Amino acid sequence: MAGPKRTAPEVEIAQGRLSGRWKAKGTVAVFKGIPFAEPPVGDRRWKAPGPAPTWSGTRQATKHGPMAIQRAAGFEEFMGNLLNGQGWHPTRVRGLEALVKRMPTPEQSEDCLYLSVRTPSLEPSAKLPVMVWIHGGDHQDGSGSDAFYESNALASHGVVTVSINYRLGLFGYFAHPDLRAESVHGVSGNYGTLDQIAALEWVRDNIAAFGGDPDNVTIFGESAGGESVLHLMTSPLARGLFHRAIAQSPGSGGQMVPLDRPFLAHPGAEARSRAFAEAAGATGEDPVAQLRSMSADRLHEIVLADDETGDHYPTIDGHVLPESPYAAFAAGRQAPVPLVIGSNADEGTLLISMMQSPMVEYRYLPVPDDGLQPEVREALGDDIDRLIEIYPGLDRGDVGAATDFLGDRLFGAAVYHYARHHAIGGNPTHVYFFTRVPKQAGQTLGAYHAAEIPFVHGSNVPILPMSSKDKALSREIMRYWTDHARRADVNAGAPGVNHPEWPAFDPADPQWIRFDHTVTVEPVQRREQYEIFGALIDRRIADLTAD
């Protein structure tokens, strides 16, 4: 006979009372859709997040809040590449593609500033480590409630996990001169980054009610989320709000541009926003007021219709983000917190078809028949001949060479730059390299961009089921991640056959831990190309900081 039904978990926070649900056989309390800031709608569009709303009575926290309005322009192509590259039988691929198309579209809204909490304890005295997840998606797409993050596995390892939404694209990073004029700080843009900071402030003020320790917070994220981790490490507004960091496949695609001047193939952020305002017909005396009077749906239609002015990214504004994170790390101005950082072996395979150029900052420029743009040759200078030797066929438009180049340059070299400078500053730094590849014959993606996410979250999503070896690898990765969060020591747990001691990164003798079905420690295998690309990063820093 079944026992009495367990009472729903409840907590009292500064905003009011919340009621959630028990998951993982009653061992993890889950609270979804908690507003952490005032809805950024109406006159609050393109303003810093305001105070979180309060309520009377008990608020049901059992459903995710809406995700941010987003482009999703490349979603079908991304998913098609993902499914077709697994080496499965064509019948299975067609069935999964049909399933993806039939999946209900999650609600999107400007009113998107919500987060979710998963905790194994509701005792404030538990003082559990807290891990705050920042989703990826090129700062244009994604949400904290994506299927790959919908797992209680990390919480079952004794940590409180928080997943957040933040404003994206036009709504998160629009930077117009008139917005600068109305700002007390004289800046515009970076509203999505301010949302991330507001979420961390909410965690500081409320997480104890969920059993979490506000003095032991780890921020972690992948792709644009990993880049956001580095932004927060270099933003003075985020100092003291977190104590450890994990950046998975971070990579700036040349999108970090100044407010008021062009950089590489990109116009200045405010020039791009002015162009968008003109495309939207906001050409009067107060274009921002005109844009705020338009519906979010109408603005979104204009975004989707215009690739040239529709994308908006984090900006070097001198306040939220005083400088490129590349430059901040090189100068030792980042937060001196313990850092885990890494990339995957085949980052470019899912992305190359959406880029054209092997260097993402030139993706909007014409590509010649040989596939190597003059801008690429000029940027790489005397190193181009050696890179053509490393990536044979790069100068003949070979897709495989361009794919490897893209992944190494955009992600691997960025990781190497950040790790090297963080370690030089005396900060605990550990680097990983994810190489696990499914064993299906015909798999063509390798260890692709985002392939590590299910392993980090312990999420066994039906379209990408895990084998027993995959589940074992996932458990080891989660041990490293949660040990880092718990004690700032990835080696705090007992070692095992598949859980070797992970050495700190030493720029003089760089080693990483390689995550495959067997976990091993080895020298960095792509050091030469990373150092060539690192010299390019140094030149970019000089260009960004030049008067």
Pairing status of strand 244-248 against strand 339-344: parallel
DSSP tally for the chain: helices H, then strands E: 19, 16
Cβ 72 vs Cβ 85: under 8 Å: no
Residue 339 tokens read as 């850092």
Question: Which strand (E) or helix (H) includes residue 98?
Answer: helix 90-102
232-to-97, 221, 415, 465 alpha-carbon distances in Å:
37, 11, 16, 33
Active site (annotated) includes residue 474: no
Measured distance CA(450)–CA(453) in Å, rounded: 6
Q: Closest by alpha carbon to 180, among 257, 269, 282? A: 269
- Give the 3-state secondary structure of residue 281: coil
Residue 452 tokens read as 């590590």
**One of 347, 361, 452, 476 is an active-site residue; which one?**
347
Q: Closest by alpha carbon to 143, among 152, 134, 131? A: 134
Q: Which residues of 233-269 are buried (b: 16+ CB within 10 A; e: fewer)?
A: bbbebbeebbbbbbbbbbbbbbbbbbbbeebbbbbbb
Alpha-carbon torsion, ordered 70, 72, 73, 74, to 10 deg: 140
Residue 59 tokens read as 């608020």
Q: Closest by alpha carbon to 119, among 151, 63, 163, 161? A: 161
Measured distance CA(305)–CA(170) in Å, rounded: 13
Specify the DSSP class assigned to residue 238. Answer: G
Residue 255 tokens read as 């999108």
Q: Rounded to the nearest 5 degrees, what angle is found at the Cα of 382, between the Cα atoms of 409 and 412? A: 10
Measured distance CA(543)–CA(547) in Å, rounded: 9
Measured distance CA(419)–CA(476) in Å, rounded: 22
**One of 449, 457, 484, 499 is an active-site residue; which one?**
449
**One of 116, 188, 223, 474 is an active-site residue; which one?**
223
- Give the 3-state secondary structure of residue 480: helix
List Cβ neighbours of 105 (8 Å cut-off, separation of 6 or more): none
Active site (annotated) includes residue 449: yes
Residues annotated as catalytic are 223, 347, 449
